[in-house]
Structure formats: C-alpha cells, structure tokens
C-alpha cells in the first residue's frame, strides 16, 4: 500500500484502464466522473479526506470512471484484491450511498437534490466549483444557477 502525492488537475485513472485501484484520500480532494457519448462529463462522486474512491466495484472489469484530483492531495493506493475484515463494512457503506443516490435522482427535483447535497456535504460544497455540483446533481450549471436565483427571489 503506497502513498502518493497528486497535484491539482492530475489524473489518477482513465475510463478503459484495465486495472482499477482503490484510492483512500489522506488529504485533498478527488472526484470520479464519466464522459458520455456526447462528450459531456457526469461527476459520479467526490472524495475528500478519509473517503474512499474507486471504480466499478468488480476488480476484474475495466474502469468506467475517470478519477482526478481537484486539489493537491495525498492518497493511499490500494489493490482491490487486498481483502481484509473491515472491507465488508466499507462495501456496505458504498452500497448505501449509491442506493440513496439513485432514489434522489428518481424522486427529487434538481433544486431539491441541490439542497440535499448542500446539507449532506456542506464541506464539499464549499470546495468545488458550482458547475461540478451541477454535474453531480445531473443538471447543467445554468439550470442550477437559475434554480438558486429563483429560490432566492421567492424568499
């Protein structure tokens, strides 16, 4: 298990890479995202300190995701085949987050998803540009800006 330093903007993993690793963020901030057929980015998740970020859970598959650094970061790189007792709890946590994510995408409006995001990830929300939050929420930056503006005007 080695520890590496990555500069802001540096890419750790590209979609299609054969071997994906598990990255444990010691300090800084990483993200994972896809690029769809239209060339549009969709951020899948952010990973600040003490979070784990990794690709499609199955170690034998190719990567779906790009993973890069949004801030200068220090990262532990682990091999997926390394399996320890605690691993199961980590997997449960990831499934839990994913389930909630799908539910939100299906049942909440963009602005509701935004507010939930702000509440749940206050810290992250202050550290990434708004357009990245929009990407995470599954909407365009313009739509988010407008939604926020509309909200303000009502209050």
Partner DNA sequence: CATACACCTTAATGTAGATTAAGAAATGCA
Partner DNA sequence: TGCATTTCTTAATCTACATTAAGGTGTATG
β-sheet bridge partners, residue 77:
2, 23
Q: What DSSP element (H or E) covers 132?
A: helix 130-137
Report, in Å, the least distance between residue 108 CB and a second copy.
8
154 contacts a second copy (rule: CB under 8 A): no
Q: Which is nearer to a second copy, 107 or 126 (CB)?
A: 107
Contacts with 48 (C-beta within 8 Å, 6 or more apart), sequence order: 25, 28, 29, 123, 124, 127
Judged by DSSP in three states, 145 sits in: helix
Dist CA 81 CA 93 (whole Å)? 18
44 contacts a second copy (rule: CB under 8 A): yes
Tokens of 140: 């365009």
Task: Name the one range near DNA by CB under 7 A: 58-66, 89-97, 104-112, 116-124.
Answer: 104-112
142 contacts DNA (rule: CB under 7 A): yes
User: Which residue, 153, 135, 122, 140, is CA-closest to 31?
Assistant: 135
Neighbour-count burial of 91, counting CB atoms closer than 10 A to its CB (0-12 exposed, 13-18 middle, 19+ buried): exposed
Report, in Å, the least distance between residue 105 CB and DNA.
10
Report, in Å, the least distance between residue 7 CB and a second copy.
27
122 contacts DNA (rule: CB under 7 A): no
Report, in Å, the least distance between residue 34 CB and a second copy.
6
Residues that bind a second copy in the complex, under the rule CB under 8 A: 34, 36-37, 40, 42, 44, 56-59, 61, 64, 83, 87-88, 91-96, 98-103, 105-108, 138
Residues that bind DNA (CB under 7 A): 38, 40, 109-111, 129-131, 138-149
């Amino acid at each position: 298990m080695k520890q590496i330093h990555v500069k802001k903007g540096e890419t750790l993993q590209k979609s299609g890479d054969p071997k994906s690793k598990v990255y444990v963020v010691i300090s800084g901030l990483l993200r994972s995202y896809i690029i769809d057929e239209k060339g549009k980015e969709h951020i899948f998740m952010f990973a600040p300190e003490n979070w784990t970020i990794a690709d499609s859970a199955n170690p034998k598959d190719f990567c779906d995701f790009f993973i890069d650094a949004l801030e200068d970061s220090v990262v532990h790189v682990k091999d997926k085949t390394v399996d320890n007792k605690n691993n199961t709890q980590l997997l449960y946590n990831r499934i839990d987050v994913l389930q909630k994510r799908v539910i939100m995408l299906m049942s909440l409006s963009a602005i509701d998803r935004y507010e939930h995001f702000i509440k749940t990830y206050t810290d992250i929300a202050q550290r990434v540009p708004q357009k990245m939050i929009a990407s995470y929420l599954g909407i365009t930056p313009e739509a988010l800006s407008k939604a926020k503006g509309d909200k303000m005007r009502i209050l």
